[in-house]
Amino acid sequence: MFAQGGRRHRLQEALLNQAKQQPNISPLPSAFQHYRQELEAQVYGAMGITRDDKANRQLAVLRNGVFGTSVMGLKLQVEIKQSREELEKAVKYAAEASSKERLQMLYWLKTGQATIAILNHL
């Protein structure tokens, strides 16, 4: 999805408002809690935010939900190196449904049967 100008601003506001809501995160079993804590330490630590700095942690969460400050809002360009024929054959012989779906999308993009979605309704 790509948005710019007023649409981008409205999308940013909608995402920011949603990010301010209390997240509905299912609790992890205690045996797995250390994974979340380790990941949080790595992510927030890379930003220079300590575990007890709740205000800056919350700001980082909100910032990540707004285009222009998160990876999901950046332009992404993908080069499909496989030929049309290679992709067609790979789709035909894919064993798993998830692999087949990904290959099918690459095939559609390669052949121009799928295009980028533009946000017109915001």
> What is the predicted pLDDT for the residue at 116?
56
User: Percent of the chain beyond pLDDT 90?
Assistant: 13
> What is the predicted pLDDT for the residue at 66?
54
Residue 28 above 70 pLDDT? yes
Which residues are paired to 2 by β-bridges?
118
Residue 1 above 90 pLDDT? no
Which residues does 57 contact at the CB level (< 8 Å), separation at least 6? 44, 49
- Residue-wise over 48-64: b if at least 16 C-beta within 10 A, else e? ebeeeeeeebeebeeee
Cβ neighbourhood burial of 103 (10 Å; 0-12, 13-18, 19+):
buried
Separation of alpha carbons 36 and 41, rounded Å: 9
> What is the predicted pLDDT for the residue at 89?
94
Which residues does 68 contact at the CB level (< 8 Å), separation at least 6? 8, 12
Separation of alpha carbons 110 and 90, rounded Å: 13
> What is the predicted pLDDT for the residue at 51?
86
34 pLDDT band, cuts 50/70/90, is: confident
